[in-house]
């Protein structure tokens, strides 16, 4: 096992993304375990703080709000922030500019997208297919959207989707990466199957955006949503985003028509007329403080390709599984994350009988992952700031705790 630290050192020396790590605020030496300090493997829940964000937020508060006040809607670009920041996210999910608008929560955007998808599908289609293994909120929203639109809800696993599609299918809501296991679902083939049935494909990108190539435009995805506080490092509660494929924008009928999405927002007209383009995904006044914190956070992506991020992600998770196999007692944990690269996101989930207590001890020793009921240890790998030395140390401490 002594060769693993040396291998980690060699991999870190060859890491083309190693320089990005310095753009984040990360832990220093832990009092509990000096050689396992600052191993943050929970970026799939909340990304680390980019170092440039505090200064930018202070400027927003002190100067833009404190001095310019209402003038900042124009002079500081507050009014155009939702689409401007959307255009910065677009390359990370494989979308051209003008198709993403930032604002509201993921849940709200799932609701907008799913009801909008049913309306796009048209008359005669009265069934919504939803990923039965989805993050709970997506399921709750899908159930409500079905009641609101008079549709039947059909929960199935992603593998079962092609077999249940038909001429009644209006919309299909799927997660790109399973939040529990880290399984990466086949977005291209599933989207193609949905389209072959004449239905509308809606994808939740919360656990893939910023971790791997998505290819929204390339694969003809209709609508997509995602959060920005995981791999995009936008901060707790940072606003989500909504993608509306350009060819569908003039027909997208949002169930939440707010004044911010009106063609003439300051006309204060009684009748609603939607704005052109992705702007019709806006609703009310944007949350400027968190939105501009997100904009600052996205600076860390300057000069970084999502393909390089994906390559490192796979190398990190491969190395973690290798180290766990070496350090953990035999039979003590079992990986539920697929081994095949084409089926793996950017996390590793390990099944462990006493997972809750194990994670508490790991955190006490400076290795931060998270626990999912009833028996899953989740470790998220954010390639922008996680190194191979981190991975080796985390697996070594896990082995000690499990022993």
Q: Give the pLDDT confidence score for residue 129 in this predicted structure.
A: 98
Report the DSSP pairing between strands 376-380 and 347-351: antiparallel
Q: Give the pLDDT confidence score for residue 33 in this predicted structure.
A: 46
Query: How many C-beta atoms lie closer than 10 Å to residue 26's C-beta?
Result: 16
Query: What value does the mean pLDDT take over residues 172-188?
Result: 97
**Is the pLDDT confidence value at 126 over 90?**
yes
**Is the pLDDT confidence value at 32 over 60?**
no
Tokens linked to 281: 């995904």
Q: What is the percent of the chain with per-residue pLDDT over 90, rounded to a whole number? A: 96
Positive/negative CA dihedral, 28, 32, 35, 37? negative
Q: Give the pLDDT confidence score for residue 38 in this predicted structure.
A: 78
**Residue with structure tokens 């994350």?**
337
Tokens linked to 240: 């989500």
**Is the pLDDT confidence value at 35 over 80?**
no
What is the average pLDDT value for the chain, to the nearest integer?
Answer: 96
What beta strand segments (E) does 214-330 contain? Answer: 223-226, 241-244
Q: Give the pLDDT confidence score for residue 149 in this predicted structure.
A: 97
By residue count, the chain amounts to 403
At residue 392 the predicted structure's pLDDT band, cuts being 50, 70 and 90, is very high
**Is the pLDDT confidence value at 273 over 70?**
yes
Query: What value does the mean pLDDT take over residues 148-164?
Result: 98
**Is the pLDDT confidence value at 370 over 90?**
yes
- Terminus-to-terminus CA distance in the chain, angstroms? 16
**Is the pLDDT confidence value at 139 over 90?**
yes
- List, by residue number, the catalytic residues: 135, 204, 229-230, 378
Q: Between the CA atoms of 262, 263, 266 and 267, what dihedral angle is there, to the nearest 10 degrees?
A: -110
CA distances from 352 to 31, 133, 328, 370, 380 (A): 27, 20, 11, 13, 17
**Is the pLDDT confidence value at 132 over 80?**
yes
Q: Give the pLDDT confidence score for residue 1 in this predicted structure.
A: 52
Q: Give the pLDDT confidence score for residue 296 in this predicted structure.
A: 98
Q: Give the pLDDT confidence score for residue 37 in this predicted structure.
A: 57
**Is the pLDDT confidence value at 34 over 70?**
no
Q: Give the pLDDT confidence score for residue 28 in this predicted structure.
A: 65
**Is the pLDDT confidence value at 101 over 80?**
yes
Residue-wise DSSP of 43-97: TTTSPPEETTHHHHHHHIIIIIIIIIGGGHHHHT--TTHHHHHHHHHGGGGT--T
Helix (H) and strand (E) counts in the chain: 12, 15
pLDDT tens digits, 39-78: 999 999 999 999 999 999 999 999 999 999 999 999 999 9
pLDDT tens digits, 287-334: 999 999 999 999 999 999 999 999 999 999 999 999 999 999 999 999
**What's the rounded Cα separation, in Å, for the pair 85 and 76?**
14
Report the DSSP pairing between strands 334-335 and 347-351: antiparallel
∠ at Cα 66 (64, 72), nearest 5°? 30
Phi, psi of 56 (to 5 degrees): -65, -40
**What's the rounded Cα separation, in Å, for the pair 332 and 399?**
9
């Amino acid at each position: 096992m002594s060769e693993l630290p040396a291998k980690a050192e060699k991999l870190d020396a060859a890491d083309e993304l190693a320089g990005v790590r310095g753009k984040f605020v990360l832990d220093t030496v832990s009092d509990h375990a000096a050689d396992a300090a600052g191993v943050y493997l929970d970026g799939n829940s909340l990304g680390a703080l980019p170092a440039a964000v505090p200064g930018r937020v202070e400027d927003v508060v002190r100067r833009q709000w404190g001095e310019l006040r209402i003038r900042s809607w124009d002079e500081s670009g507050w009014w155009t922030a939702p689409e401007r920041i959307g255009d910065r996210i677009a390359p990370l999910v494989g979308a051209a500019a003008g198709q993403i608008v930032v604002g509201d929560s993921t849940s709200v955007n799932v609701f907008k997208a799913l009801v909008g998808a049913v309306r796009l599908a048209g008359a005669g289609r009265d069934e919504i297919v939803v990923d039965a293994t989805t993050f709970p909120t997506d399921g709750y929203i899908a159930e409500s959207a079905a009641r609101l639109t008079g549709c039947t809800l059909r929960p199935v696993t992603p593998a079962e989707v092609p077999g249940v599609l038909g001429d009644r299918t209006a919309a299909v809501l799927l997660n790109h990466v399973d939040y529990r296991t880290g399984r990466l679902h086949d977005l291209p083939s599933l989207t193609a199957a949905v389209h072959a049935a004449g239905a509308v494909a809606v994808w939740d990108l919360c656990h893939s955006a910023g971790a791997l190539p998505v290819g929204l435009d390339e694969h003809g995805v209709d609508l997509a949503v995602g959060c920005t506080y995981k791999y995009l490092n936008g901060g707790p509660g940072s606003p989500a985003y909504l993608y509306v494929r350009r060819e569908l924008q003039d027909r997208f009928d949002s169930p939440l028509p707010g004044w911010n999405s009106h063609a003439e927002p300051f006309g204060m007209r009684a009748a609603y007329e939607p704005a052109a383009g992705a702007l019709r995904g806006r609703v009310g006044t944007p949350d400027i403080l968190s939105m501009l914190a997100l904009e600052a956070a996205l600076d860390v992506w300057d000069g970084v390709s999502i393909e390089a991020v994906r390559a490192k992600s796979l190398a990190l998770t491969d190395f973690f599984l290798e180290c766990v196999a070496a350090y953990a007692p035999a039979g003590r944990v079992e990986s539920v994350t697929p081994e095949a690269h084409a089926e793996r996101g950017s996390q590793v989930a390990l099944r462990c009988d006493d997972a809750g207590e194990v994670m508490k001890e790991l955190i006490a020793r400076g290795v931060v992952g998270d626990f999912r009921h009833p028996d899953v240890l989740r470790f998220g790998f954010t390639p922008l700031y996680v190194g191979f030395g981190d991975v080796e140390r985390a697996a070594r401490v896990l082995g000690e705790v499990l022993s």
